[in-house]
Structure 1
Amino acid sequence: MKIYKYTLIILLIVVSIPSEAQTIKPKQVKKEMKSVANWQIEHFRETYSGRKKPHHIAAWTNGALYVGMVKLAQMKGGKKYYKWLKSIGEEQKWKLHHRKYHADDHTIGQMYFELYRKYGEKYMIKPTIESFDYILENPSKEPITLDKYKHLERWTWCDALFMAPPVLAKLTKETGDKKYTKFMMKEFEATRNHLYDADEDLFYRDNSYIGKLDNKKKIFWSRGNGWVFGGLTLIMDEYEPGSKEYEYFKNIYLKMAKKLIEIQTPKGHWAMSLLNQDKYPTPETSGTSFFTFGLAWGINKGLLDKEVYQPHVEKAWNALVSYVTKDGMLGYVQPIGAAPGKAWADKTEVYGTGAFLAAGSEVYKMVKKK
């Protein structure tokens, strides 16, 4: 009877081991990535976030998807995904979206440069170069405040730091012309000065949230900070470590990374309002995916102590895959918005898929090294 009792206790302990203790295997990571990517490609032309029409192929939503899809394509056996991405570029005639100054409409340019690096065809990046040359020659004179969406020609909302700066960094890398970097650094600093909270090492989504409290806590939107954190890695990838540009972004990145592991929820995800876990207990996978991506990237680059940070990444990844349906849909992606809100197990969005794929690409490298 005692043997049975002890066996039962051991079984209960094993069953109660939290998800973060599960071993992450590279092959399984890749399998999860392909499952999510294949589901999204199959459902690419569908509607999301309660919209009546599908997202335009050049919209920021899909631009973020392509960032993650490129990272899957770059992995062994990714030819299928390169082919799909190239078909998107051809359909869009390699042009950015229609709003000349709007950062959201520049996002797809990241994909064009990565496809150019793969295929070497200059026509893939020519329209993007022309578009940014116009912007640099005719810079917007709008203020850096969003002011109820009156000013969208500059980076007045933190999401923009994922959308446009990586394209400008790639422009300098591929053309050798530092004018793009000079413009990008100036505009990034303007946004940072406006939206960065040095006490919390997090970014406000836009100026409408500065000074406001929710449940007596400052409002820092998870996905908004995910855009910033993920964007920092994309920018740093284009500069040499030790360069003034790299060190500028690394400084912000390290401060955010330290803060993020302090506020991760016990379940592994990050709350939709980063400092307000109690009020927003629902999982949210787009912000969590971007944080997972950024933290795993830092471990792989040697910027973050793996003994400290890797358990947080593993915990987050195991949480994320638990929200993927058997068909490959990533659930609990908050719909399009600008603030903490709601998410559901049976609802997704293309940018969530992109963030998940980006996260998977770095988690794969991390556990393969391990």
Structure 2
Amino acid sequence: MVAVLLIMAPLSQAQDIKPAEVKKIMKRVADWQLDHFQDLYSGSTKPHHQLDWTNGALYIGMVKWAAMAGDETYYNWLKAIGEGNEWKLHRRKYHADDHTVGQLYLELYRKYKDVKMIEPTKEQFDFIMYHPARTSLTWKSPYHQSRWNWCDALFMSPPVWAKLYNITGEEKYLDFMMGEFKATTDFLFDKEENLYYRDESYMGKRDHNTKIFWSRGNGWVFAGLTNIMNELDSQSKEYKYFLKIYKKMAKKLLAIQTPEGHWAMSLLGQEFYPTPETSGSSFYTYGLAWGINKGILDKDTYGKAVQKGWNAMVGHVTEEGMLGYVQPIGAAPGKAWADKTEVYGTGAFLSAGSEVYKLYGGE
């Protein structure tokens, strides 16, 4: 039986955030996840493949924690993932989900400077670039997921292209990523709400008479934007393109955060989705804290939202270190439970912690 640590929202929001405490709970969550890496999640009958997008999202947060931890245990664990899979991406050549693990490989290359860590990713992306998918972004067209026609794909693949561009200095990777990202945004971004539809099938649909904007999907977009901008020159036209979207989303997210500190599973439907969801909310907290740390967002305006968000997420971590209220695999607003988690929720939480730690004075 998992013991759930309950923290009342008003109390958690009032608590000051201390860097040492941020680091302490990040370690607890990271260690719990390593111990439970092969557990079954989202109703699965077998563990996620090590290169699955679910674990790819975990590694993105875990590598941020590894850089903070002062303990090679985490780097060694991550490096063993790459070595055990010969530094290959997952099985589908074009599918963004199967590119996610490339973000880990490129970060490990930065630390270890071993070219074998990035060669398979570079080779596969070169193939995609010279044999680009020509499919429509419409949801039911054949082979449609060969392109980024669902919003969470913008977290999975574009940051890999951006990192590859930054590491190699070859602009072809940036140019390809920009073309595809713009196509997806032109298709899925709602200019009235400044949020992304999960995919075309949600356009025009209503849930309790509100447009359906899935929290986790938009959380992944928001985190993806930050992970891309980290790789770009802040004076470049490409950076400014992403920054414009980021600022629009940040302003909207500030307006729709719940009083408890999380974001509703259907972002415009708080009263219909009162249950917390920690994977999307962790990524919003990550992205907003990053913006303050970069001097992009005003701390007086956005700082309280980060504090409320982080304390809400911490309030859903069990005494053992499991992050609860992570929505299972899906594509739309749904349900989450205090005693259920997912590896990508841990990744999102660790990403959030890495920026909250800096925001409150950690070095």
Give me the whole-angstrom Cα distance separating, in 2, the residues matched to 1:96 and 1:118.
19
Q: Which residue of 2 aligns with 1:111?
A: 104
Give me the whole-angstrom Cα distance separating, in 2, the residues matched to 1:16 and 1:318.
8
Q: Which residue of 2 aligns with 1:68?
A: 61
Q: Which residue of 2 aligns with 1:36?
A: 29
Query: Which residue identity is paired with 2:335?
Result: K
Query: Which residue identity is paired with 2:14?
Result: A
Give me the whole-angstrom Cα distance separating, in 2, the residues matched to 1:348 and 1:24.
24
Q: Which residue of 2 aligns with 1:328?
A: 321
Could you tell me how far 1:351 is from its partner in structure 2?
A: 0.3
Could you tell me how far 1:176 is from its partner in structure 2?
A: 1.0
Query: Which residue identity is paired with 2:108?
Result: L
Give me the whole-angstrom Cα distance separating, in 2, the residues matched to 1:48 and 1:148.
30
CA gap of 1:139–1:16, structure 2 versus 1, over 3 A, is: closer
Give me the whole-angstrom Cα distance separating, in 1, the residues matched to 2:69 and 2:135.
45
Could you tell me how far 1:292 is from its partner in structure 2?
A: 0.3
Could you tell me how far 1:369 is from its partner in structure 2?
A: 6.4
Selected match of 1:201 from 194, 197, 200: 194
Give me the whole-angstrom Cα distance separating, in 2, the residues matched to 1:311 and 1:281.
21
Q: Does 1:254 align with 2:247?
A: yes
Deviations 1:135-185 (A, max 9, x none): 011011111122288511000100100000000001111111100110100
Q: Which residue of 2 aligns with 1:365?
A: 358
Q: Give the structure-1-normalised TM-score.
A: 0.94
Could you tell me how far 1:76 is from its partner in structure 2?
A: 4.3
Selected match of 2:290 from 297, 305, 308: 297
Q: Which has the higher contact order (CA 8 A, sep 6+)?
A: 2
Q: 4+ residue runs of structure 1 moved beyond 4 angstroms?
A: none
Match runs of 1:117-128 below 5 Å: 117-128=110-121
How many correspondences in the alignment? 356
Q: Which residue of 2 aligns with 1:212?
A: 205
Q: Which residue of 1 aligns with 2:340?
A: 347
Selected match of 1:228 from 212, 221, 238: 221
**Of the two, which has the highest radius of gyration?**
1
Give me the whole-angstrom Cα distance separating, in 1, the residues matched to 2:17 and 2:140.
45
Give me the whole-angstrom Cα distance separating, in 2, the residues matched to 1:218 and 1:301.
32
Unaligned runs of 5+ in 2: 1-7
Give me the whole-angstrom Cα distance separating, in 2, the residues matched to 1:150 and 1:109.
22
CA gap of 1:299–1:135, structure 2 versus 1, over 3 A, is: same
Q: Does 1:181 align with 2:207?
A: no
Q: Does 1:285 align with 2:278?
A: yes
Give me the whole-angstrom Cα distance separating, in 2, the residues matched to 1:303 and 1:225.
19
1:72, 1:78 within 8 Å by CA — same for their partners in 2? no
CA gap of 1:84–1:212, structure 2 versus 1, over 3 A, is: same
Query: Which residue identity is paired with 1:321?
Result: V
CA gap of 1:25–1:195, structure 2 versus 1, over 3 A, is: same
Q: Does 1:53 align with 2:46?
A: yes
Query: Which residue identity is paired with 1:270?
Result: W
Could you tell me how far 1:338 is from its partner in structure 2?
A: 0.1
Query: What is the aligned-residue identity percentage?
Result: 65
2:61, 2:350 within 8 Å by CA — same for their partners in 1? yes
Give me the whole-angstrom Cα distance separating, in 2, the residues matched to 1:295 and 1:51.
32
Q: Which residue of 2 aligns with 1:157?
A: 150
Selected match of 1:238 from 224, 231, 238: 231
CA gap of 1:308–1:192, structure 2 versus 1, over 3 A, is: same
Query: Which residue identity is paired with 1:51?
Result: S
2:87, 2:120 within 8 Å by CA — same for their partners in 1? yes
Q: CA-atom RMSD, angstroms?
A: 1.4
Could you tell me how far 1:241 is from its partner in structure 2?
A: 0.6
Give me the whole-angstrom Cα distance separating, in 1, the residues matched to 2:198 and 2:36.
29
1:295, 1:313 within 8 Å by CA — same for their partners in 2? yes
Give me the whole-angstrom Cα distance separating, in 1, the residues matched to 2:73 and 2:362.
26
Deviations 1:308-349 (A, max 9, x none): 101100001100001000000000000000000000000000
Q: Does 1:307 align with 2:339?
A: no
Give me the whole-angstrom Cα distance separating, in 2, the residues matched to 1:75 and 1:324.
20
